[in-house]
């Protein structure tokens, strides 16, 4: 059992999903150990949870080689701040939440200075170079993975690993019924609803939202009464979204802070790759995944990626159940054609829903944050 002595953890999250997962974890930890304090790096959700932040990670929430190079000086500044925080605060445990390359460097520094490290959300070693398992194994005390098939990679290299479950299983739950949500968002239940999920990072919006809006214009020709809805991530500024919507020839309803109620209203969704695809899968909504990066980043990635798919539903299922439109294939015409197929071919849409149900089953019953909480408390006791 933990003593009555106040303990301190440090949490490091660099993106919107990590910010949310870290906040949820800390809130659950406080229920079981009220004297626990936390410091670290993250966003608004972590700050609202009561974590004392030394750096706002929204400034460095970027992906891709070129994008990282552009923000390199700021990323280095954030890393230095976190390193100083570790030295000054000497937390009982550092919890790195995703944001793999930054957190690898931070974990390495922590281990060199005698601070225990728990890494939450494994780097996608099945996609990238598998030698990363050994590399990460040298700088952590425990890897907490969110997919059941990930444990084998770490066990093969004798790296301590624990499967805790995917947090989205518990998170992707609407607050309203579909009919209630349609009414709340002033949507016509007799007309198709198409979702635009362009991402939670600024560079994702810049690469994907314009092409999604152009696809929406194509769809409006074939489905004159169709409706478009966009769940806006709280990590994105309003003026960024409005800049693109003001140029569009279609009307789009923007809803903040209710992504799962928005998603469940949809008959089909155009989505960026990443966690959003898994959340849409858990809700059973047919989708098409699009992925665009800076050209240099994309070609470098092609040299390193070792998997057939980039979409998490396809990776979990083990086959291409959802169409992926990558880089030059991610055109407005291709997006519109796939959404058109999902809206008009009832058999294809039903098959997609059935396959997504299998994805849901493979992800288990949930309890990810509770399992992660138990692991953190276990490590604090050691």
| Per-residue pLDDT tens digits for 241-258 | 999 999 999 999 999 989
53 within 8 A of 41, measured Cβ to Cβ: yes
How does residue 111 score in pLDDT terms, banded at 50, 70 and 90?
Answer: very high
**Same-domain status, 161 and 24:** yes
The model's confidence at residue 66, banded by pLDDT at 50, 70 and 90, is: low
Same domain, 146 and 180: no
- The CATH number of the domain holding residue 68 is 3.40.50.2000
* pLDDT in the model for residue 305: 59
- Indicate whether 141 and 40 sit together in one domain: yes
CA distance 119 to 140: 7
pLDDT band at 2 (very low <50, low <70, confident <90, very high): low
For residue 1, tell me if it sits in a domain. Answer: no
Total domains in the chain come to 2
Decide if 173 contacts 212 (C-beta within 8 A): no
Q: How far apart are CA 304 and CA 326, in angstroms?
A: 16
Instruction: Say yes or no: 22 and 148 in one domain.
Output: yes
Is 280 exposed, middle or buried (CB count within 10 Å of its CB: 0-12, 13-18, 19+)?
buried
Q: Tell me the mean pLDDT in the region 211-237.
A: 94
Of 116, 156, 100, 127, the closest CA to residue 380 belongs to 116
Instruction: Please determine, for residue 300, whether its predicted confidence score (pLDDT) is greater than 60.
Output: no
Q: What average pLDDT does this structure show over 299-308?
A: 60
The 3-state secondary structure of the chain reads CCCCCCCEEEEEECCHHHHHHHHHHHHHHHHHCCCCEEEEEECHHHHHHCCEEEEEHHHHCCCCHHHHHHCHHHHHHHHHHHHHHHHHHCCCEEEEECCHHHHHHHHHHHHHCCCCEEEECCCCCCCCCCCHHHHHHCCCCEEEECCHHHHHHHHCCCCCEEECCCCHHHHCCCCCCHHHHHHHCCCCCCCCEEEEECCCCHHHHHHHHHHHHHHHHHHHHHCCCCEEEEEECCCCCHHHHHHHHCCCCCCEEEEECCHHHHHHHCCEEEEECCHHHHHHHHCCCCEEEEECCCHHHHHHHHHHCCCCCCCHHHHHHCCCCCEEEEHHHCCHHHHHHHHHHHHHCHHHHHHHHHHHHHHHHHCCCCCHHHHHHHHHHHHHHC
123, 214: one domain: no
- Say yes or no: 310 and 376 in one domain: no
Residues 372, 268 within the same domain: no
Q: What is the crossing angle of helices 275-282 and 346-362, to 10°?
A: 110
Q: What residues make up the domain containing 122?
A: 8-165+367-381
Structure tokens given for 222: 């074939």
Out of 149-153, 234-238, 259-263, 355-359, pick the least confident: 234-238
Structure tokens at 328: 């030059």
Is 183 part of a structural domain of the chain?
Answer: yes
Domain contains 324 = yes
Per residue in 323-346, pLDDT tens?
A: 999 988 999 999 999 999 999 999
pLDDT surpasses 70 at 361: yes
Q: How far apart are CA 274 and CA 355, in angstroms?
A: 18
Asked if residue 3 is part of any domain, the answer here is no
Q: Are 328 and 299 within 8 A, CB to CB?
A: no
**Average pLDDT along the chain:** 91
Note the pLDDT tens digit of each residue in 117-160: 999 999 877 655 567 899 999 999 999 999 988 999 999 999 99
- Would you state the pLDDT for residue 270? 98
pLDDT of residue 127: 58
- Sequence-separated (6 or more) residues with CB below 8 Å from residue 115: 10, 86, 90, 91, 93, 94
Residues 156 and 200 in one domain: no
* pLDDT higher than threshold 70 for residue 217: yes
In this structure, are 239 and 201 located in the same domain? yes
302/206 same-domain check? yes
Does residue 358 sit in the same domain as residue 213?
yes
Where residue 236 falls among pLDDT bands split at 50, 70, 90? confident
* pLDDT tens-digit map of 153-201: 999 999 999 999 999 999 999 999 999 999 999 999 999 999 999 988 8
Q: What's the order of all strands across the beta sheet hosting 287-291?
A: 252-256, 227-232, 193-197, 268-272, 287-291, 323-326
Q: Is residue 138, in this structure, part of any structural domain at all?
A: yes
The tokens for 157 are 């290299």
52 domain-assigned: yes
Cβ 289 vs Cβ 311: under 8 Å: yes
Which of 30-39, 134-143, 222-231, 298-307 shows the lowest mean pLDDT across its residues? 298-307
State the Rg of the chain over Cα: 21
Indicate whether 2 belongs to any domain. no
136 and 179 share a domain?
no
């Amino acid at each position: 059992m933990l003593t009555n002595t106040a303990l301190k953890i440090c949490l490091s999250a660099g993106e919107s999903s990590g910010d949310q997962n870290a906040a949820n974890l800390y809130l659950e930890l406080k229920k079981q150990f009220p004297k626990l304090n936390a410091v670290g790096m993250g966003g608004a959700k972590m700050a609202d949870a009561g974590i004392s932040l030394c750096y706002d990670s929204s400034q460095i929430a970027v992906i891709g080689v070129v994008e990282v190079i552009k923000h390199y000086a700021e990323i280095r500044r954030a890393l230095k701040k976190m390193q100083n925080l570790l030295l000054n605060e000497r937390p009982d445990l550092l919890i790195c939440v995703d944001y793999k390359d930054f957190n690898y460097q931070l974990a390495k520094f922590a281990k060199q200075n005698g601070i225990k490290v728990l890494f939450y959300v494994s780097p996608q070693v099945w996609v990238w170079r598998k030698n990363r398992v050994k590399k990460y194994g040298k700088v952590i005390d425990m890897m907490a993975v969110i997919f059941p098939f990930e444990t084998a990679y770490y066990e093969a290299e004798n790296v301590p690993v624990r499967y805790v479950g995917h947090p989205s299983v518990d998170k992707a739950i609407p607050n309203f019924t579909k009919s209630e949500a349609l009414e709340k968002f002033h949507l016509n239940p007799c007309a198709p609803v198409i979702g635009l999920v362009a991402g939670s990072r600024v560079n994702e919006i810049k690469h994907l939202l314009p092409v999604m809006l152009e696809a929406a214009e194509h769809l409006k020709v074939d489905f004159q009464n169709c409706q478009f809805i966009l769940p806006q991530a709280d990590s994105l500024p309003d003026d960024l979204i409005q800049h693109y919507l003001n140029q569009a020839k279609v009307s789009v309803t923007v809803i903040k802070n209710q992504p799962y109620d928005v998603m469940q209203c949809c008959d089909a969704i155009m989505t960026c790759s990443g966690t959003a695809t898994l959340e849409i899968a858990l809700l059973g909504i047919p989708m098409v995944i699009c992925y665009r990066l800076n050209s240099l980043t994309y070609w470098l990635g092609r040299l390193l990626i070792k998997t057939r798919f980039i979409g998490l539903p396809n990776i979990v299922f083990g086959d291409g159940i959802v169409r992926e439109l990558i880089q030059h294939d991610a055109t407005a015409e291709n997006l519109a054609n796939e959404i058109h197929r999902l809206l008009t071919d009832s058999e294809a849409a039903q098959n997609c829903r059935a396959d997504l149900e299998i994805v849901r089953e493979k992800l288990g019953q949930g309890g990810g944050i509770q399992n992660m909480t138990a692991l953190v408390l276990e490590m604090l006791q050691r």
